[in-house]
Copies of this chain bind each other. A is one copy, B any other.
């Protein structure tokens, strides 16, 4: 282990894999990476249609670790809050935090991935191969079988250890599951809803057609549309909708007429910005939304799952990429401990990390319901108003659940979830019982929220609940 000449094979050069390659390269390991897709830096991807992601403090912590914070900042579009759009076209900006310096960012997946690849390849001890698809992993022998996309040749690669960052459909995870050589706990949970990407193109002079610095949401109870800005003036729009339930669903939106009718009725102000709606709708696929959890992530000291391969989550907390980047930060901290063997490193990593990735998976599903539904309910709006005031008036003393998850990268997701849920429960119940109201003195509210939150956490602890 102390021997940095160890050969580490990384499967997948997506966001997590390329960051991991960069960091392990910085640490002096011999790193070889195989990616099934072509090199996205030399493949034409239409900028206006590139998928964007929410990038926030946990992700930025990783960028600081590898020293590219400034380069990433140049790719970011700050989003200060949610811009809510009602059916009448009224808009209402709900900031993500009462602290002005706390916001999330829209970033292009491909631009960020390209940057990480380029930074990783600056290290002579890092090699990245594209168009090589992993077929399976022999986790007993620590070898992986690849197929070359162009030649169709198959070849086996050997390593001291293999780390799979090959995403939600991980080849290593499939090998763990199907080979049944050890007790592998596994779950895949699909939402009733799927998603489809659409777009708001730039205006003729290249400007943004709606407010740039927000994550736009059209919440409609059982479904919603969101939009995130791109650097070229466009927005990537996503429709989240049930496959089978409700008056309109993916199964019955089968003609341009019905699709247009649905948007006219539910999202008239969005439709105005999207003359390209019907083309987008029928050109782009409908994709499912799933959560994957599993354990163990590692097999002995041979193989390890990291990023989406270990914990794929739904996108509603904007934490998928940030969680995967934080994986690398946590893994890096474990490496600093000089634990001696890969087995001990992998075991320790999973022990400290899994509780947090389980938590963000659950929070992301919760937020699906919050975004499409709760944001439109009076009691949740009152809670949000109180929390904004608490954060503005007591920036050092109060953080909402959203802030704990998104802007408090020094605490884990699980702690953020437990404290955040207790705070939500405290505020909602005190509002319902008229113990507090939005017109009360904010210092008095803070005291009550703190006291009630502690009482809730203590009650759960005594009852043996988590």
Which A residues fall within an 8 A CB radius of B? 183-190, 243, 288, 290, 293, 369, 374, 421, 424-425, 428-429, 432, 459-460, 462-465
By Cβ-Cβ distance, the 6 closest A-B pairs, closest first, are A187-B187, A425-B463, A183-B190, A185-B189, A432-B462, A185-B190
A429 adjacent to B187 (CB under 8 Å) = no
Q: Which residues of B contact A428 (CB under 8 A)?
A: 462-464
CB distance from A421 to the nearest CB of B (A): 8
What's the dominant secondary structure at chain A's contact region? mixed
Distance A464 CA – B369 CA, assembled complex (angstroms): 10
Return the contact of A463 from the options B187, B189, B429, B464 (Cβ within 8 A): B429
CB distance from A316 to the nearest CB of B (A): 15
Can you list 24 contacts pairing A with B, beta carbon distance less than 8 Å? Answer: A183-B190, A183-B290, A184-B190, A185-B187, A185-B189, A185-B190, A186-B186, A186-B187, A186-B188, A187-B187, A187-B188, A187-B293, A369-B464, A421-B465, A424-B463, A425-B459, A425-B462, A425-B463, A425-B465, A428-B463, A428-B464, A429-B459, A429-B462, A429-B463
Distance A190 CA – B374 CA, assembled complex (angstroms): 35
B183 adjacent to A185 (CB under 8 Å) = no
Closest to A380 in B: B464
CB distance from A351 to the nearest CB of B (A): 12
Closest to A370 in B: B464
B188 adjacent to A185 (CB under 8 Å) = yes
Return the contact of A183 from the options B184, B288, B421 (Cβ within 8 A): B288
Q: Which residues of B contact A369 (CB under 8 A)?
A: 464
Distance A404 CA – B189 CA, assembled complex (angstroms): 29
Distance A465 CA – B374 CA, assembled complex (angstroms): 13
Q: Which residues of B contact A187 (CB under 8 A)?
A: 185-189, 293
Distance A413 CA – B26 CA, assembled complex (angstroms): 54
